[in-house]
Structure 1
Amino acid sequence: MSKVENKIKAIVLVHGFWADGSCYREIIPTLLAEGYEVVAVQNPLTSLVDDIAATKRALDRIEGNCLLVGHSWGGFVITEIGNDERVLGLVYLAALVPDTGESMMDLMSKYGAPSPHFQEQNGFVWISRKGVEEVLVHDLSEVDQALLYAAQTPPSVSLMAAKASSAAWKQKASWYVLAAEDKAVPPNLQHELSQRMGAETTVVKSSHFPMISYPQDVLNVIRKAATNC
């Protein structure tokens, strides 16, 4: 696929809780080889305002129009900043997608209590080694699980209650990759959110990180979004 054929010249990748930009390592080389400019945001996960600012800095680095890709909490972030005129489409990966005035707590509360594998310390939430395996990435290798645990970026507790001030999916084309074996963001919630925004939805039998366990499926969705915005 040639980038010349698309209005989309750049892909901006936004990560979620306990991860960093390297969680997109399985898809970045292919996107680069296909001619896209790719920027993986490094969210501080300290506040919604800080994460939006980090993504804004990434947008300011690119040239031309872009596609925003958000995983998990990253879906919350791209929903906020996606109204930027440079953003032509939104791709959500096992993501939280709020409407205006909704928080992560609002979205998750009806699907049960937080996992006992989450540990709060100094205002941030860490996940245990067992939690990485059981909640996040049961379908990845022990090496990948160990890397995710060791390099985790813990989110601020404040993110749970932060409320969205806008919902870009109401104005922008959207796609959703639903992780059917996800134990972090319940698949039923993912289905509800993707249906609510009318996103074109692709289901994969993945845990919470489909871009690692099902990179080709995720790449196919990104390609489709980039050619149809």
Structure 2
Amino acid sequence: MGKVINIILVHGFWADGSCWDEIIPTLLAEGYEVIAVQNPLTSLADDIAATKRALDRIDGKCILVGHSWGGFVITTVGNDERVAGLVYVAALAPEENESMMDLMSKYAAPSPHFQEQNGFVWISCEGVAQVLANGLSQERKALIYATQTTPSTSLTEVKASFPAWKNKPSWYILAGNDKAVPPDLQRELSMRMKAKTITVESSHFPMISHSKEVLEVIREAAASSQ
């Protein structure tokens, strides 16, 4: 059998599909079929549904790639028989009945840069610069702030169902300079999953600052997960 050619990319909080723009052109040029899911971030069920719609568009097996909160989504959707492998990028990887708050509260307090209104949260310009995108260019920081998708506050409390990483091959890209998802938490999760793990000295967006390394992991997952 040949490699898996379908790659589905799932973004996290305060992001949209454009956060993958450093890797999508290369994957397409190499012959992969790529879909970047646009998560509504209104509920876990809505994000799962958006990713399943992407699954319905493909022919054959796929690799699911989740960034940040996207890891929470692929942990559930990955149980679909069409998913051959999982790649976590500075991502949450919950156990059954764990919430984001359960995971994050071990290592971090809520950021003062979060701003809530009508049940949704956005992150300030300062928060983008200092928490999400430290180390990226000013132009990229401005783009992330302008294109952010605001998540529902309910997402921090929703509990995960049975995790696909228990049955599917998994990879983890650990961001060593991450100020959004603490590196110690990432390390704990990747070890618990027994994922094949690499560490990059990146802020919260390794697919932007370390796109070559992220591409290498996705290629390995596609070649290994038959």
**Do they fold alike, i.e. is TM over 0.5?**
yes
The SS at the match of 2:38 is: coil
* In structure 1, C-alpha distance between the alignment counterparts of 2:137 and 2:105, rounded to whole Å: 30
Contact 2:96 2:161 in 1 (8 A): yes
Note the C-alpha offset of 1:94: 0.1
State the shift of 1:112 in Å.
Answer: 2.6
CA contact (8 A) 1:9 1:63 kept: no
Alpha-carbon distance in structure 2 between the residues aligned to 1:144 and 1:64: 34
Is 1:189 aligned with 2:185?
yes
**Residue number in structure 2 paired with 1:128:** 124
- Of the candidates 11, 29, 32, which is equivalent to residue 15 of structure 1? 11
SS in 1 for 2:18: helix
Amino acid at match of 1:123: G
| Aligned-partner Cα distance in 2 for 1:82–1:93 | 15
User: What's the CA shift string for 1:176-223, capped at 9, x where partnerless?
Assistant: 000000000000000000000000001000000000000000000000
1:5 corresponding residue in structure 2:
2
1:164 alignment counterpart:
160
State which of 134, 141, 146 in structure 1 corresponds to 2:142: 146
Match of 2:207 in 1: 211
Give me the whole-angstrom Cα distance separating, in 2, the residues matched to 1:26 and 1:9.
Answer: 18
Aligned counterparts of 1:125 and 1:24: Cα–Cα separation in 2: 22
Displacement of 1:5? 3.2
Alignment of 1:1-229 (within 5 A): 5-6=2-3, 8-229=4-225
- The DSSP-based 3-state class of the residue aligned with 1:44 is coil
Q: Distance in 1 between matches of 2:183 and 2:138?
A: 24
Contact 2:121/2:153 (<8 A) preserved: yes
Q: Describe the superposition over 1:56-114 as per-residue Cα deviations: whole angstroms up to 9, x where unpaired.
A: 00000111100000000000000011010000000000000000000000000111311
- The runs of at least 4 consecutive aligned structure 1 residues that moved more than 2 Å come to none
Summarize deviations over 1:130-173 as a string: whole Å, max 9, x none: 00000001111000000100111010000000100110000000
Matched residue of 2:5: which SS?
Answer: strand
SS of residue in 2 equivalent to 1:208:
coil
What's the RMSD between the two structures over aligned residues?
0.7
Matched AA of 1:79: T
In the alignment, the residues of structure 1 paired with residue 208 and residue 58 of structure 2 have an alpha-carbon distance, to the nearest angstrom, of: 24
CA distance in 2, matches of 1:178, 1:135: 16
Deviation readout 1:10-40 (Å, 9 max, x if unpaired)? 0000000000011000000000011110000
Give the whole-Å Cα distance in 2 for the aligned partners of 1:39 and 1:51.
Answer: 14
Gaps of 5+ in 2: none
Distance in 1 between residues matched to 2:190 and 2:133, nearest whole Å: 22
Distance 2:217 2:178 in 1: 18
Between the aligned residues of both structures, percent identity stands at 71
SS of alignment partner, residue 197 of structure 2: strand
The CA distance in 1 between the partners of 2:160 and 2:209, in whole Å, is 29
What TM-score, normalized by structure 1, do the two folds share?
0.97
Tell me, yes or no, if the aligned pair for 2:76 and 2:161 is still in contact at 8 Å: yes
Give the structure-2-normalised TM-score. Answer: 0.98
Structure 1: stretches of 5+ with no match in the other structure:
none
